[in-house]
Amino acid sequence: MPEKTNWFTINQVDDSTWILSEYRHWEETHCYLLCGSRRALLIDTGLGICNIQEEVCRLTDKPVTAAATHIHWDHIGGHKYYPDFCAHRAELSWLQGGFPLSMEAVRAMVLDRCDPPEDFDIQTYQMFQGMPTRLLEDGDVIDLGGRAVQALHTPGHSPGHLCFWEAERGYLFTGDLVYQDTLLAYYPSTDPQAYLQSLEKIAALPAQRIFPGHHALTIRPELVCRMRDAFRELQAQEKLCHGSGLCDYGDWAVWL
Ligand SMILES: [Zn+2]
Ligand SMILES: [Zn+2]
């Protein structure tokens, strides 16, 4: 049974893995806590509307490293609680004043279809900025003690997007590269061609469970293969580029 706090919904996956979800915002963002014998990894830290650290502290007493799948505001909201965090070099500038949207635009997205707690003050909301303690390259392994998680550089949705792959359990954490809704590949910092290459890369993995950055938690690995096939088809039709618009496949879509 999921446990609901005032803001987060917490689901336990196995004896050392949890999902922290934010269903009171339309994006339904998911963060993942993976505990090893020596340390824990928090994949994405959410919207930053409520304090994720308070929830994480109840689940583990291990030191926690944060790793965002990418530097979009809805995945780094709780980074302020985790000075030990990893990122990919390609998005460093977004952590240091170079994010291509204004704070006003970000605040508008935070409040969009959101049911915040009474004491939440949007005027104090800031997009996290800081310097990572570790830069992750494609293939780098994060050792949690008896548990190893590999970072895979999977650009497309954003230039430094990372998926995280835990081969031993067959867990694939896909961030915003794969979730079951409309995938976003239309804004200038997206790259539809790189998106296809990233889908090729993760579709080849023997994943048992897909853990997305947003929305349904019931994604089956075959969806990743269908997305890859659809991207291949768009490529063949020379539509895999910005401006192709919304391509709808029934249970998912991509906006190019
Ligand atoms: Zn994103
Ligand atoms: Zn996102």
5: pLDDT confidence band, cut at 50, 70 and 90? confident
Residue 250, domain member (yes or no): no
Which of the ligands is closest to the CA of residue 158? 1
Confidence at residue 4, expressed as pLDDT on a 0 to 100 scale:
78
Residue 227, domain member (yes or no): no
- Cβ neighbours for 174, distance < 8 A, ≥ 6 positions apart: 69, 163, 202, 210, 211, 212, 213, 224
For residue 88, what are the β-bridge partners? 136
Predicted confidence (pLDDT) at residue 1 exceeds the cutoff of 80: no
CATH value at residue 106: 3.60.15.10
* 15-54 per-position pLDDT tens digit: 999 999 999 999 999 999 999 999 999 999 999 999 999 9
Residue 185, domain member (yes or no): no
Written as six digits, the tokens of 190 are 């997206």
Closest Cα to residue 46, out of 59, 29, 32? Answer: 29
Boundaries of domain holding 19: 3-179+208-220
Residue 11, domain member (yes or no): yes
Q: What is the dihedral of CA 54, 147, 227, 236, to 10 degrees?
A: 130
**Residue 44 C-alpha to ligand 2 middle, in angstroms?**
10
Residue 152, domain member (yes or no): yes
Measure the CA angle with vertex 122, ends 116 and 123; round to 5°: 165
Q: Enter the pTM of the model.
A: 0.97
Which of the ligands is closest to the CA of residue 161? 1
Residue 112, domain member (yes or no): yes
Q: How many domains does the chain have?
A: 1
**Residue 146 C-alpha to ligand 1 middle, in angstroms?**
30
Residue 238, domain member (yes or no): no
* 107-159 per-position pLDDT tens digit: 999 899 999 998 999 999 999 999 999 999 999 999 999 999 999 999 999 99
| 254, containing H or E segment | strand 253-255
Burial of 101 (0-12, 13-18, 19+ CB in 10 A): middle
As a whole number of angstroms, the distance between CA 75 and CA 95 comes to 12
Q: Which residues surround ligand 2, an ion (CB under 5 A)?
A: 74, 176, 213
**Residue 202 C-alpha to ligand 1 middle, in angstroms?**
18
Which of the ligands is closest to the CA of residue 212? 2
**Residue 75 C-alpha to ligand 2 middle, in angstroms?**
6
Residue 98, domain member (yes or no): yes
